Amino acid sequence: MLHFTLSAECGSNCEAAETFANHFRNVSWVFSNGADFSCRVGVVEALDWWCIVSPTGVSQTGIHTPEDAYQMTEIGLLLYQKLRSAPPFRYALVGIEVDQVRHYNELVTACGKPDVPFHGFVIAEMVWRDIGCPVGFTSFAPGYLWTPYQGEVYSPLEVSPQLTKLFYELLNLPPTNPTGEDRD
């Protein structure tokens, strides 16, 4: 399963993650197509405390159609809008498989350079300064910066075996098997 979530790292305090989670509990929205969705919220400890917000009614297998990408992008925008008024957190990201996207000590490479190459990455100004003020960030909300969200993307080459086969033929690469894995 491929989960589309908002993941927020809330530091070493469980209470901070629970407070953040409460901000998203019992939240529901109506899509532009009239359907509604709500969010499941969980708190997990993985080196530090995280809150994972999981919208209901969204594909759990990834983006297979332009409509999936549209729906996830719409949800993403609504989650970011709600994030603007959230209780304190250190950083957050919306997307597919972003659960615990980076632990705090992974925000900087071994050679001391910031490592946050994600569109939609929201970071507390204090953390942004602590990791060396990486470029490309703009104001998100008071006390927070971000690299603006660009939405979710439908890629026919990732979901169509026929198009993938044509692509590999174009590049003179060996074909893949039906599961999408490279043959030995």
Number of domains, the chain: 2
Whether residue 35 sits in one domain with residue 101: yes
Whether residue 162 sits in one domain with residue 146: no
DSSP string, 28-77: EEE-TTS-EEEEEEEEEEESEEEEEEEESSS-SB---SHHHHHHHHHHHH
CA distance 136 to 134: 7
Q: Which of 46-50, 98-102, 116-120 has the highest mean pLDDT?
A: 46-50
**b/e map 3-19, b = 16+ CB within 10 Å:** bbbbbbbbbeeeebbbb
Whether residue 54 sits in one domain with residue 125: yes
Whether residue 89 sits in one domain with residue 172: no
Query: Considering only 34-43, 59-68, 82-91, 123-132, which range has the smallest mean pLDDT?
Result: 59-68
Whether residue 178 sits in one domain with residue 121: no
Whether residue 164 sits in one domain with residue 104: no
Range of the domain at 110: 4-150
Whether residue 173 sits in one domain with residue 137: no
Whether residue 80 sits in one domain with residue 139: yes
Mean pLDDT of the chain: 87
- The dihedral sign for the CA sequence 41, 119, 166, 156: positive
CA distance 31 to 87: 25
Inter-residue contact 52 to 42 (CB < 8 Å)? yes
Whether residue 101 sits in one domain with residue 57: yes
Whether residue 170 sits in one domain with residue 129: no
Inter-residue contact 74 to 31 (CB < 8 Å)? yes
Whether residue 11 sits in one domain with residue 62: yes
Q: What is the pLDDT of residues 147-164, one digit of tens each?
A: 999 988 888 887 788 888
Whether residue 72 sits in one domain with residue 40: yes
Strand partners, 28: 38
